[in-house]
């Protein structure tokens, strides 16, 4: 490729018109004269052009038009001519340099780096998901309850009384194998001291039992009655946290230990409103010492007369999957209570759920 062709290519790439090279003076003259003769025109004298006509003059081989726009065009052509003279220049003019400087060069993507970034993003997302599962695992396990006994059929929330009206089922079984029904509702009645509420079904028999015991000089305290699911969850969380901090247990170890005493939410009889924790006024501690009090001994001997049973008796841990609790009493009705307590059995055994 010749130097002139290179110059023309550079001009075209930067958007500047390609100038016509100078021809031989005689050839130019002949060409101009021939053109005018063919057009039937003669070269006007400088300064004699009429209004509206264009005055032309030869300037270094170019036609120069009068006027501001024409002057700019001619100057631009002269700049190109000066730049391309001898066609030996290799540096772009300043105008072209500025034009190229303003353009942002697009960086070529490195395939390896692009793939590496994608892998890192995927690994970060995977780590986030796994971390969330690890953090949420204890909370998910709280509802993974070990089964003790078996699930029974006909474990309805309500039954029909003699008049044909629906009433709360006093024999509903709630344990680790039989959670509280989702549609379970209870009509609550607050105790006179306002400390807790119980199901309206057991309010009268409970009041009668405690009144009769008080007439014999005993003093009782209802330590706990109805609990909603949220309260049950809070109690279990507090017990687990205490074991982990004080005894250095893992969460699973603390969970297994505490669910032998505190039922998981949704599996507690306290949520039925049919169960109460009864203690002596002068010994309000839920431990083995409670059964040594006169109040607890009287309750275990007489509770069935009022329709209550000792829900988690000693020696029945394999059946109930709960440690012995001398303070936990459950209302099941007089007939069922007398049979269960006389046999020394449990509600699971009475209902054939073990």
Residue written as token pair 């009705």 = 333
The DSSP secondary-structure symbol of 194 reads: S
Residues recorded for the chain:
354
CA–chain centroid gap for 265, Å, is 23
Quote the tokens at residue 180.
């509280």
Q: Could you tell me if residue 147 is left (phi over 0), alpha (psi between -120 and 50 degrees) or otherwise beta? A: beta
The DSSP secondary-structure symbol of 20 reads: P
Contact 351, 156 (CB under 8 A): no
Query: How far apart (Å, rounded) are the C-alpha atoms in residues 219 and 223?
Result: 13
The DSSP secondary-structure symbol of 164 reads: S
Dihedral sign (CA 125, 127, 128, 133): positive
Residue 145 CB: number of other CB atoms within 10 A? 18
Quote the tokens at residue 203.
């309010």
Contact 350, 340 (CB under 8 A): yes
Residue 3 CB: number of other CB atoms within 10 A? 12
- What residues are annotated to the active site? 325
By CB atoms closer than 10 A (0-12, 13-18, 19+), residue 7 is: buried
For the chain, state the CA radius of gyration.
51
Residue written as token pair 């009068």 = 66
Q: Residue 283: phi, psi to the nearest 5?
A: -150, 85
Residue written as token pair 């005894």 = 247
Residue 351 CB: number of other CB atoms within 10 A? 19
Q: By three-state DSSP, how is residue 279 classified?
A: strand
Residue 25 CB: number of other CB atoms within 10 A? 10
């Amino acid at each position: 490729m010749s130097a002139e062709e290179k110059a023309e290519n550079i001009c075209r790439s930067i958007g500047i018109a390609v100038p016509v090279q100078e021809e031989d003076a005689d050839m130019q003259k002949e060409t101009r004269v021939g053109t005018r003769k063919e057009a039937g025109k003669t070269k006007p004298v400088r300064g004699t052009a009429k209004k509206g006509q264009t005055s032309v003059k030869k300037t270094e081989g170019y036609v120069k038009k009068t006027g501001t726009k024409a002057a700019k065009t001619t100057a631009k052509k002269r700049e190109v001519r000066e730049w391309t003279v001898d066609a030996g220049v290799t540096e772009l003019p300043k105008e072209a340099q500025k034009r190229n400087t303003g353009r942002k060069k697009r960086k070529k993507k490195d395939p390896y780096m692009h793939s590496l970034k994608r892998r890192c993003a995927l690994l970060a997302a995977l780590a986030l998901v796994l971390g969330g599962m690890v953090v949420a695992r204890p909370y998910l396990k709280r509802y993974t309850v070990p089964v003790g006994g078996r699930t029974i059929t006909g474990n309805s929330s309500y039954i029909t009384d003699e008049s044909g009206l629906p009433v709360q089922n006093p024999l509903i079984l709630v344990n680790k194998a039989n959670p509280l029904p989702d549609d379970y509702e209870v009509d609550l009645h607050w105790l006179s001291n306002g400390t807790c509420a119980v199901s309206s079904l057991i309010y009268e028999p409970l009041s009668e039992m405690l009144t009769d015991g008080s007439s014999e000089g005993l003093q009782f305290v209802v330590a706990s009655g109805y609990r909603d699911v949220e309260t049950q969850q809070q109690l279990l969380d507090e017990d687990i946290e205490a074991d982990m901090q004080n005894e250095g247990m893992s969460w699973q170890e603390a969970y297994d230990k505490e669910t032998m005493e505190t039922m998981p939410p949704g599996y507690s009889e306290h949520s039925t409103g049919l169960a109460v924790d009864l203690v002596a006024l002068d010994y309000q501690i839920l431990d083995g010492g409670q059964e040594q009090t006169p109040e607890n001994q009287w309750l275990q001997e007489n509770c069935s007369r009022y329709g209550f049973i000792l829900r988690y008796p000693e020696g029945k841990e394999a059946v109930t999957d709960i440690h012995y609790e001398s303070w936990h009493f459950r209302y099941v009705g007089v007939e069922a209570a007398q049979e269960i307590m006389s046999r020394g059995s449990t509600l699971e055994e009475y209902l054939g759920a073990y």
